[in-house]
Amino acid sequence: MSPSTASQRSPTTGLLFGLLITLAAVVAYSSYITSQISGLRKMQVNLIDKNRKDSLQLLRIQNDLNLLGLEMRDMLDADEPYPLTAWAAQFLRVRADLQDALQAEERFAVMNRTPEQREYLISAMNQFWDAVDRTFALADSGQEQEARTQIRLSLQARQASLNAAVAQLLVENNESEQLAAARVGEIYDRVESQAYWFLTATLFAILLTSLYSIRSNRRVFAQIATLSEQRSELAQKLISTQESTLRSISRELHDEFGQVLTAIGSLLGRAGKLMPEDSPLRSDLQEVREIAQSTLDNIRSLSQALHPVILDESGLESTLEWYLPTVERQTGVAVHYEKSGEPFAVDGATAIHAYRVMQEALNNVVKHSGAREAWVRLRFLADRLNLEIEDHGKGLVMPTGQHGIGLVAMRERAELVGGTIEFLRPDTGGTLVRLQIPRERQDPRGG
């Protein structure tokens, strides 16, 4: 072939070849980006949702274990007039709920949960209930002292061990989410590196690919923001639903069961008066009446713990004045209460969330701060309501990257009432929780 012929050769073949290479590179890179984004979306949606459901079940199990701990404490209380067998029904109800929670948790357990961990939890739970059965068997046979010894030496230790195991699983769930976040970061880093490499290799192709990558990344970030908003909204809905449920249960206990037990006590009193003075049945009726009254008192206390009736009837101020002395009596922590400013009406939704924030903050003081004093300040300002809870204890010490569930709940409650919450460290040390709620706030979602 002559030089003149070569110089006249059409560049179409070379251009087509170059175009095919460019298109192949663009298609390969586009497929890579698409698969990475799809995997990222699946990881975020599936893992976060599964972790959330699993954590909710673990919290349910933890609450049941704490309830058992309180029951065992009451059983060992020397001032309790009832035999140990009186707690059998409550243990039975908690046992049924724990079994249901364990079955639900098994379905949502994260993938990195080892079979040994699952077997340990189930085995420890079975051993605990075996010990419970032996304890009540001793109580049934009249060996009350041996049963109490069994509670102190075995049941409480097993309950604490189960609590620790569940807490560890909650921590692992949190760590799993952190690992997922790290993997997401690695994916973004890898995509960015590929983008720069492609820019060096093929200028024109990388320009198109970069535009696609930028658009895709924006979409991913928008989806992440949407997921974050949805998670926050879900948390707020869960809090609102929880308050509604607690209020409903509290009213049902107070109104329905309270009235029934009051009527039973009245009927037993009248029946006892009809009996002769020396009749054994009269003393039996009196004993049953006292049991009914004690049950009524317990139900009223439980009703107040779930949702204080005084909050609906008298408002936030009266509720604080009732609740803070109760905390002092139950915990031994001296609570100093200060109120200032011209009081104004606080709607029910705002009041219950402010009350829960204060309740959680005081619980943290009692459980974690080591302080023996706390200060609660309620300030009515011209444009807002301020609620402060302060202690001079250890202060907030959270592991890096971890956030307590109670702190998250307090932040969500502050958002629900359109307010802000701060966790500060006073000059004297300790912790200062400051909740600020606008006075003119209107909450369409309710409490």
Mean pLDDT of each 10-residue bin along the chain, 447 residues long: 45 59 73 73 68 81 87 79 83 88 77 74 87 88 87 86 85 76 72 69 62 68 77 70 70 65 73 73 75 72 68 84 88 92 86 88 89 93 92 71 70 86 89 90 43
Nearest residue to 302 via CA among 344, 257, 357, 260: 257
pLDDT for 387 equals 93
Cα separation values, 118 from 107, 124, 169, 418, Å: 12, 10, 10, 42
The model carries a pTM of 0.43
| pLDDT score, position 211 | 64
Q: How far apart are CA 156 and CA 16, in angstroms?
A: 79
Radius of gyration for the alpha carbons in the chain, expressed in angstroms and rounded: 31
Distance CA 226, CA 234 (A): 12
CATH number corresponding to 15-201: 1.20.120
What is the reported pLDDT for 339?
Answer: 92
> What is the CA angle 172-176-179, rounded to 5?
135
Domains 15-201 and 309-438 share a fold: no
What is the 3-state secondary structure of the chain? CCHHHHHCCCCHHHHHHHHHHHHHHHHHHHHHHHHHHHHHHHHHHHHHHHHHHHHHHHHHHHHHHHHHHHHHHHHHCCCCCCCHHHHHHHHHHHHHHHHHHHHHHHHHCCCCCCHHHHHHHHHHHHHHHHHHHHHHHHHHCCCHHHHHHHHHHHHHHHHHHHHHHHHHHHHHHHHHHHHHHHHHHHHHHHHHHHHHHHHHHCHHHHHHHHHHHHHHHHHHHHHHHHHHHHHHHHHHHHHHHHHHHHHHHHHHHHHHHHHHHHHHHHHHHHHHHHCCCCCHHHHHHHHHHHHHHHHHHHHHHHHHHHCCHHHHHHCHHHHHHHHHHHHHHHHCCEEEEEEEECCCCCCHHHHHHHHHHHHHHHHHHHHHHCCCEEEEEEEECCCEEEEEEEECCCCCCCCCCCCCHHHHHHHHHHHHCCCEEEEECCCCCCEEEEEEEECCCCCCCCC
| Domain residue spans of the chain | 15-201, 243-306, 309-438
Phi, psi torsion values for 114, nearest 5 degrees: -80, 155
Q: Count how many Cα atoms sit within 13 Å of the Cα of residue 95 in the half-sphere of its side chain.
A: 15
Query: How many Cα atoms within 13 Å fall on the side-chain side of residue 417?
Result: 30
* Tokens representing residue 368 in the block: 């974690």
How far is residue 288's CA from residue 268's CA, in Å, rounded to a whole number? Answer: 8
Q: What is the pLDDT of residue 445?
A: 40
Q: What is the pLDDT of residue 265?
A: 72
How far is CA 324 from each of CA 166, 373, 407, 437, rounded to the nearest angstrom? 31, 12, 21, 21
Instruction: Report the CATH fold assignment for 309-438.
Output: Heat Shock Protein 90 (3.30.565)
